[in-house]
Amino acid sequence: MPAGSTMGLVDPAQDSPTPGARTRTRDTVRASARAAAPAIGGYLLVRLVATGILWLWARSDHQSLGGLLGRKWDSIWFLGIVQHGYDHGSPLKSNLAFFPLYPESVRAVSAVSPVGAAATGIVLAWVFAAATAWGLYALGSKLHDPRTGVLLALLWGCIPHAIVESMAYTESLFTALAVWTLYAVLDERWLTAGGLCLLAGLSRPTATALIPAVCLSALFAVIRRPAAWRAWAALLLAPAGWLGYMLWVGRRLHRLDGWFHVQKDGWGSSWDGGRFTVTNARHILGGESPLDLYAVTLVLLLAVALFALAVAQRQPWQLLLFSALLLATSIGGSGYYHAKARFLVAAFPLLLPPALALARAKTATTVTVVTTMTLISGYFGGYLLLVWVHSP
């Protein structure tokens, strides 16, 4: 049995547990949370240090930390959806480009919260980020060992664009759903995997990287056991959220390709196979450019290298497929070069090779690397929100 395989949320064979099984499930959840406490606590410490750097910088610049985390760039669009709902595609740079799960969650919680929608959005982002750290620990423990799981969570907290994990953005929500979906897939808990993937499809368009991993896994399970109704259910559930939102937008705009129309003609984002990305990378590396563009280019290059390492280390094919499709989505899309590194925040399987290497290194080496990365991430988060003039 793989190390950490008991850290799941439910018994793999119990997608619909009996009362006795539900009690065992609650006990398993508590045990899993206790085991993941170092990873969750370490992740929160890393983010608090990085956010503290942002707070000190913002204070010297006479800006509010809450305003930076909850009322800037995409956060403003989400607040608009919370307060006024979706528009009807006019103007063409429409809020229909943003998927509904996060703003609707903020709306529901803020209705009973003593703080406003912006603060609620920040709190929820931190809660979802903690859930991600828990999932990363469970996954790293399952595939390798608990130390790798802890370091996987820590590394996710100190990547260059980790500031968006602490903002009223959707990256924390989507990554939490993605990591637990893939964990459920590896455990063959099909109803759990399908349901979580459905929610992921309502949170970000990049669920298109997750849906194939779930559907193909469930399809293989059906081929092995045609009577496996839970796998059949996962096949139907996994794409339902994403497809449902596409159809809803299409109906609202009276055209089947409504969401893609908004993305391309309103937001200037479409698929070109990577031509835009390669052209911009060559220009940036061959001349003088802002720090953010150098950082994005470096992240893209490192992501490709880490994917090659993940293949060499024979990660489960579901993780490789998820990472490959996220890379293809980020590199192959035109427009928003400055945001391409943020689009890869959810590509957590790419962090498994360095997490495994640090897990095997001496403690002093590991502490030095994580501390240095935390400080760099803290500085870069401040740069993105206080110096850089576009979205992270």
Please give the radius of gyration of the chain, using alpha carbons only, rounded to the nearest integer.
21
pLDDT of amino acid 13: 41
Is residue 106 in a domain? yes
pLDDT of amino acid 15: 59
Q: How many CB atoms lie within 10 A of CB 38?
A: 17
Closest CA to 58 of 339, 387, 290, 391: 387
Is residue 190 in a domain? yes
Is residue 176 in a domain? yes
Q: Which two tokens stand for residue 133?
A: 């750290």
pLDDT in tens, the chain (392 residues): 333 343 444 434 445 556 666 777 788 899 999 999 999 999 999 999 999 999 999 999 999 999 999 999 999 999 999 999 999 999 999 999 999 999 999 999 999 999 999 999 999 999 999 999 999 999 999 999 999 999 999 999 999 999 999 999 999 999 999 999 999 999 999 999 999 999 999 999 999 999 999 999 999 999 999 999 999 999 999 999 999 999 999 999 999 999 999 999 999 999 999 999 999 999 999 999 999 999 999 999 999 999 999 999 999 999 999 999 999 999 999 999 999 999 999 999 999 999 999 999 999 999 999 999 999 999 999 999 999 999 99
Is residue 53 in a domain? yes
pLDDT of amino acid 57: 98
Backbone angles phi, psi at 250, to 5 degrees: -60, -40
* Count of structural domains within the chain: 1
HEC-encoded secondary structure of 338-368: HHHHHHCCCCHHHHHHHHHHHHHCCHHHHHH
Closest CA to 260 of 275, 242, 273, 239: 242
**Measured in Å, how far apart are the chain's first and last C-alpha atoms?**
41
Between CA 375 and CA 160 the distance in angstroms is: 10
Is residue 101 in a domain? yes
Is residue 313 in a domain? no
Is residue 375 in a domain? yes
One DSSP character per residue, 154-187 reads HHHHTSTTGGGGGSSSSHHHHHHHHHHHHHHHHT
Backbone angles phi, psi at 333, to 5 degrees: -85, 145
Q: Which two tokens stand for residue 345?
A: 């925040």
Expressed as residue numbers, the domain containing 228 is 30-261+363-386
Is residue 300 in a domain? no
Report pTM.
0.94
CA distances from 152 to 64, 114, 145 (A): 31, 34, 11
